[in-house]
Structure 1
Amino acid sequence: MNILQALFFPPEQPGGVSSMIPYIQERFLKLGWQMELFSLPKRVRNKGHEEVIFQTFDHTEFRGNPLVDKYIQTYKDYIWWTKLRIQKSYDIIHAHHPIAALAMKRVFPNTPLVMTIHSSYARELILNGKIEEGGPEHRFLNLLYRELEVTTDKLMTVSESFRSYIAPYVETPERIKVIPNGFDEKRFKPIAHENEVTQLITVCRLVPAKGIDVLLYACAELKRRGSPFVLHIIGDGPIREELELLAQELGLYDDIIFYGYMLHPEEFMPFFDVFVLPSRAEAFGSVFAEAALCWLALVGTNVGGIAEQIEDGVNGLLVPTEDPLALADALEKVVGDPSYRYNLARTAWDTAKKTYSLQRVISQLKKAYVAVKSEPRPTPEIE
């Protein structure tokens, strides 16, 4: 079977789905399946001019909104790039972004289309203060879920919690298949080590949605209690300078290291002790599974896919969002008790190996592809 994986970001983009798909491709190629990757280069802007029409709503009511206009133009650009670059057919197209899915169906209407929804762009924009909840941008982006439902042959997502999030915007949420992300175990190599001072690490894009401000306030409280630590922050983003200033104001200058962007943080993580990320929302939270495979103790917020990965007190600790004191309490437990920390990390590693293996994803995807391919296709109407 010949499959096209249609991404939005290029495969070399760090983190999340874009970095996972090449490993899926490698496994399928070893099985004798043909698989190619496709994405929209950043240099392609304002090239597409075809009229866009949605089946389930009239997008022209949002015309003039800068975010919606940019989204529609990117959709047109994706269509233009697809027609320019792809001159062959595929048995199945698997899209990983709404724009990729809609554009592929536009160009290849008779090819079975599978779509995985990995996160909510609207929720991310709201948490990052870019749009207002219930505003026109939010309404437009939520309408796309129903459009994807009628456009695709199979809709999938990465967690039960995110399927529940999507449910109000589609007609048959029970038909959405959940396939959690999987990770190539060969990428993760736990290393036996003993740090004199507990080393905390977080890896994320530095945006409000990730809650790093909450983490800094928690660390200030941890320091006030006399618990020694060093926090390593890997990642970059628009609020980095703001976070660095906050760290100085909280008296954490000597306790925190900002590294900026790093291409392969999983090569760095095994040397630390605790992974912590107090996200305000996560559809899945791939970095928690990655940290678990590096044998780190996990501390996260009780939201979305994080709560599906962590059983509080068993393979990690869960705290409420927006609660620096609760986060400080959790960090104090793992900082002050190395044996407890080790047991959490060991259980997290065992759980991640069993639940988030790439082989499990390959098996589930194979079944989904075969099922979609074997479904009878509607006969095109002849005018």
Structure 2
Amino acid sequence: MNILQALFFPPEQPGGVSSMVPYIQERFNKLGWPMELFSLPKRVRGKGQEEFVFETFDFKPLEGNPIVDKYMQTIRDYVWWTKLRMSKSFDLIHAHHPIAALVMKKLFPETPLVVTIHSSYERELILNGKIEEGGAEHRFLTAIYGELEAKADRLLTVSESFKQYMAPYVTNSDAIGVIPNGFNEKRFKPISHENEVVQLITVCRLVPAKGLDILLHACAELKRRGHPFVLHIIGDGPIRLELEQLAMQLDLYDDIIFYGYMLHPEEFMPFFDVFVLPSRAEAFGSVFAEAALCWLALVGTNVGGIAEQIDDGVNGLLVPPEDPVALCDALEKVVTDPSFRYNMARHAWNKAKKVYSLSRVITQLKQVYQEVAP
């Protein structure tokens, strides 16, 4: 069976699906199932001109809206690039982004299509203050789920919570499968170390949805309580300057290191002690599993896929979103009690190795592929 994995971001991007799919490709190729990757380069912008029509809704009344227009242009660009670069057929296409899925079904309507929804673009835009819930852009982006349901031979997502999130926007949510992301253990090498001062680390795109403003306020309270620490922030994004200014206002600038973008943060993580990310929403939160495989204690918010990865008090600590005091309390526990921190990290590593192994993903995908394209 010849399989195409259709991505949106190029596979060299760090984190989540982009770092997982190349390892899936490697494993399937070894099994004798030829697999190729395809994605839209960032340099391709404004090239496509071909009209695109949805089957389940009409987007024409929303033309002129900047978010809708940009989304539609990206679809047209993906069509243009696919026609330019795709010269062979496949027995099955597995798309990991709505745009990739819709384009592949348009151009290869007879090829079985599996779609995995990894995240919610509209929810990120709402949390980042770009669109309003219930507004035109929100209605357009959530209508895409119904279109995918109509077009895909199998619809998958990465957590039970995200399956429930999608339920109002499809006609049969029970048919949505759940396959959590999996990770190649060889990428992660826990390192025995002792830090005199507890080292906290977070890895994410610097956008409001990740809740780093809450993290800084929690760290300011932790410092007021007299607990030394260093917070390492890996990632870049539109609010970096705002976060740096907030760190200075909170008298934290000497306690925080902003690294910017890093291609392979998993090579860096094993030297730290605690991974913390107070996201306002997460479909899965791959970075928590990655941090667990680096033998770090986990602190996260009780939202989405994070809450499915962390068993509170066992392999990590869960706190409510938007609550810097609760987050500080959790950090205080792991900062002041090395044994508690170590035991949580050990349990996190054990769970991640068992539940989020790449072998488990391969087995589940093989079953889906054989059902969709026997």
TM-score higher than 0.5: yes
Please say if 1:68 is aligned against 2:68.
yes
Q: For residue 306 of structure 2, what is the amino acid of its counterpart? A: I
TM-score w.r.t. structure 1 length? 0.97
What residue in structure 2 maps to residue 187 of structure 1?
A: 187
**Deviation of residue 309 (structure 1)?**
0.2
Task: Note if 1:283 corresponds to 2:294.
Answer: no
Structure 2 match to 1:89: 89
Q: Which residue pairs with 1:380 in the alignment?
A: none
Matched with 2:137 is 137
Corresponding residue number in structure 2 for 1:378: none
SS at match of 1:58: coil
Which residue in the other structure is 1:312 paired with?
312
Q: Secondary structure at the match of 2:254?
A: coil
Q: CA deviation at 1:213?
A: 0.4
**2:345 corresponds to which letter in structure 1?**
A
Letter in 2 for 1:295: W
Partner of 1:50: helix, strand, or coil?
Answer: coil
Match of 1:240 in 2: 240
Code of the aligned partner of 2:121? Y
Match of 1:377 in 2: none
Identify the residue that residue 211 of structure 2 maps to in structure 1.
211
CA distance in 2, matches of 1:152, 1:353: 31
Tell me the equivalent position of 1:128: 128
Structure 1 alignment gaps of length 5 or more: 375-383
**Aligned-partner Cα distance in 2 for 1:194–1:146:** 51
Q: Write the deviation string for residues 133-168 of structure 1: whole angstroms up to 9, x where unpaired.
A: 111110000000000000010000000000000000
Deviation of residue 45 (structure 1)?
A: 1.8
Report what 2:47 is aligned to. Answer: 47
Distance in structure 1 (CA, Å) of the matches to 2:240 and 2:45? 27
Q: Over the residues paired in the alignment, what is the CA RMSD in angstroms?
A: 0.6
**Structure 2 gaps, min length 5:** none
Match of 2:315, SS state, is: coil
Does the alignment pair 1:14 with 2:23? no
Displacement of 1:46: 2.0
Which amino acid is 1:223 matched to?
A: K
TM-score using structure 2 length: 0.99
One-letter amino acid of the structure 1 residue matched with residue 37 of structure 2: L
Partner of residue 332, structure 2: 332
Give the CA deviation at 1:79: 1.0
**1:155 alignment counterpart:** 155
Residue 342 (structure 1) aligned with residue 342 (structure 2): yes
For 2:253, what is the secondary structure of its paired residue? coil
Matches within 5 A, 1:217-256: 217-256=217-256
Cα distance in 2 for partners of 1:40, 1:313 equals: 42
The amino acid of 1:51's aligned partner reads E
Residues of 2 paired with 1:270 and 1:40: CA distance? Answer: 32
Query: Structure 2 counterpart of 1:137, which letter?
Result: E
Give the Å deviation of 1:300. Answer: 0.1
Secondary structure, counterpart of 1:109 in structure 2: coil
Cα distance in 2, alignment partners of residues 86 and 245 from structure 1: 47
2:334, 2:51 → 1: CA distance? 56
Percent of paired sites with the same residue: 79
- For residues 254 and 88 of structure 1, the distance between their equivalents in structure 2, rounded to whole angstroms, comes to 55
Structure 1 residue ranges (4+ consecutive) displaced by more than 2 angstroms after TM superposition:
none
- 1:82 and 1:127 map into 2 onto residues whose CA distance is 32
1:231-250 CA-partner distances (Å, limit 9, x unpaired): 00000000000000100110
In 2, Cα distance between the equivalents of 1:144 and 1:28?
30
**Deviation by residue 1:205-230 (Cα, 9 ceiling, x = unmatched):** 00000000000000000000011111
SS of 1:45 mapped into structure 2: coil
In 2: Cα distance, 1:13 partner to 1:191 partner: 25
Shift of 1:254: 1.3
Query: Partners in 2 of 1:256 and 1:73 — Cα distance?
Result: 40
| Secondary structure in structure 2 of the residue aligned to 1:254 | helix
Matches of 1:272 and 1:6, distance apart in 2 = 34
What amino acid sits opposite 1:266 in the alignment?
A: E
